[in-house]
Amino acid sequence: MPANPYKQIPLEFDPSLIQYATGEDVREGISTAVFVNGHLWLANDETSRIERLTFDGQRFCDHQVFELESLLDLPIKRETNGGKVAEMDIEGMAFDQGTLWLVSSHSSKRKKASGKAGKELDDIRALATVQTDGNRYILARVPCADGQICDAFEGTKAAKLTDLIDTFRTDPHLAPFINIPGKDNGLDVEGLAVCGDKVFVGLRGPVLRGWAMVLEFQVKDAGAGRMKLKRLKGDQRYFKHFLNLNGLGVRDLMVEGDDLIILAGPTMELDGPVKVVRWKKGCLNQDERVVSGDALVPELELPYGLGDSAGYEHAEGMTSIKIDGQDALLVLYDAPWTSRKIGESTLVADAFLRSPSSSS
């Protein structure tokens, strides 16, 4: 049975910053979250900026915005995109050693059908249209100092890696899914964890015969604000780990000690089970693995949209936090139900208590 939240925590956004240039509300489409040093960092998958709020013990407030377009020299910029927002489709964030890491979906997208009467031909054409965008193929790091994103700090500079997708084009597991849209069980990155020199990305799709995938690699500086993959074993530049998540894909990742915590959910446009699973010693792998059994420990089952809220309430971001002195998991939802949006600029997130063994 899905757990009940211990407490609901308000996120108070600045009303003057609540809308993007497209007119979309920042509260819609939050895709990832990480809490560190009193600050909650958030990303929305429809833009190229990072949101930051500060926790006062009861609420998140003091909303600030950091634009990434110039900091990372994005392939597609506002001035070359008809003045439109340079969307990055950020789907994962992590914090390690004073650096905020982020990853885009690396997926193509299929146009949506409206389902409206009289729009049948338009919908048929829309469903045949698949698009790609260079900004969706980015792994990046940005230094942080005193809760502020900056170009450089203590020897670390902002940098990006844009050719990860190219390394997959000859991969026997991934290559067949590169041109399939993410929401169709195509390639879709939706989780990021960083542990020292190891970078882990979780795939929402593809899920192969019920097995989800986590990729592991290392990066090094390549100059001019760029990074490249290191060789791990011979010419191999990444490891693939296959996890038995009972047909679910990875929706978010985070590091906890030597373990990886996985937010697992449906790979396609489905309302379905959402679970938090601990991959024991996941950070200590030295080669590719097939992971099942006692190595994967279920910790929480989370609520998802049902009845009136069907199609909403998709858990997308999770991060560890202390609430009232207790270890908790803060969960944010893509497509939040109307009851989560209070007034013009407040969003409500859920805090779930964690057992002492789960957060040790």
Please indicate, yes or no, if residue 21 is contained in any of the structural domains.
yes
pLDDT above 60 for 33: yes
Domain that holds residue 222: 7-353
pLDDT tens profile 157-170: 999 999 999 999 99
pLDDT, averaged across the chain: 92
Mean predicted confidence (pLDDT) in 285-314: 91
Q: What is the CATH number of the domain that holds 22?
A: 2.115.10
pLDDT above 60 for 225: yes
Going by pLDDT thresholds of 50, 70 and 90, the confidence category of residue 152 is confident
Please indicate, yes or no, if residue 83 is contained in any of the structural domains.
yes
Please indicate, yes or no, if residue 98 is contained in any of the structural domains.
yes
Please indicate, yes or no, if residue 360 is contained in any of the structural domains.
no
- pTM recorded for the entire structure: 0.94
Please indicate, yes or no, if residue 359 is contained in any of the structural domains.
no
pLDDT score at 315: 94
Number of domains into which the chain is organized: 1
pLDDT tens profile 54-81: 999 999 999 999 999 889 988 876 655 6
Structure tokens at 26: 């920042």
Please indicate, yes or no, if residue 358 is contained in any of the structural domains.
no
Residue type, 265: G
Q: Within 10 Å of residue 24's Cβ, how many Cβ atoms?
A: 15
Residue 79 φ/ψ region, left for φ over 0, alpha for ψ in the -120 to 50 degree band, beta for the rest = alpha
Alpha-carbon distance of 146 to 165, in angstroms, equals 33
Mean predicted confidence (pLDDT) in 174-188: 95
pLDDT above 60 for 7: yes
3-class DSSP state of 321: strand
pLDDT score at 194: 97
pLDDT score at 205: 97
Please indicate, yes or no, if residue 259 is contained in any of the structural domains.
yes
